[in-house]
Amino acid sequence: MPMPVAHGLVGASLVAAVLPRAGREREWRRALLAGAALANAADLDFSLVFVFGSRGWHRGFTHSLVFALAVFVCLLLALGRRRARVAVGLGLAYASHALLDFATTRQGGGLELFWPFSFERFGLRWWGLSEIPSRLPPAEILNFLFLEFVLFAPPLLLLILLRRGVFRRPV
């Protein structure tokens, strides 16, 4: 169960991969931040855990592929056809949350990846990243956050440099 650092960096990377930097720099940066935020949005289901007092709400419908598709359709409707590429980037950022949780779950319950067709919980279960951070001392949580940064910041940095044309040869 990665923490917000990993999810945010992956979400921003997907937006950077999909969106060309043509256009205004400020809009591009805003899209990257929106991607980072949306990549963490599925964990807002923690609010349902607090409201209803059951951990069963976590990693439920907000972590399903169908829900990710619904989020993408909403983004597409909200942004319109002219900004469809932004909607694709942000939709991928949202979907990345479930896929990253799925890929990095070894212990505990998995995700309702195929909700509403199945309530079964899935996890790849071969590599755990930042699992059960709420039970860890703060120093270990910081270690996990640092590890997530080391793992997921380089692809984002590389994409930003590519989009800025740093590797382009002068003509």
Tell me which residues touch Zn ion (CB under 5 A): 43, 101
* Axis-axis angle for helices 4-18, 25-41 (nearest 10): 140
Quick one: 28 or 152, whose CB is closer to Zn ion? Answer: 152
**CA torsion 101→107→111→113, rounded to 10°?**
80
Quick one: 2 or 89, whose CB is closer to Zn ion? Answer: 2
Shortest distance, position 94 Cβ to Zn ion, whole Å:
11
Shortest distance, position 59 Cβ to Zn ion, whole Å:
6
Quick one: 7 or 13, whose CB is closer to Zn ion? Answer: 7
Strand partners for 111: 122
Quick one: 79 or 103, whose CB is closer to Zn ion? Answer: 103
Contact 92, 18 (CB under 8 A): yes
Please name the residue that has the structure tokens 């997907």: 14
Quick one: 101 or 148, whose CB is closer to Zn ion? Answer: 101
Report the amino acid identity of residue 31: A
| Structure tokens that stand for 153 in this block | 């910041």
Shortest distance, position 43 Cβ to Zn ion, whole Å:
4
| Structure tokens that stand for 66 in this block | 């169908």
Contact 131, 106 (CB under 8 A): yes
Residues in the chain: 171
Shortest distance, position 83 Cβ to Zn ion, whole Å:
27
Shortest distance, position 47 Cβ to Zn ion, whole Å:
13
| Structure tokens that stand for 145 in this block | 């956050």
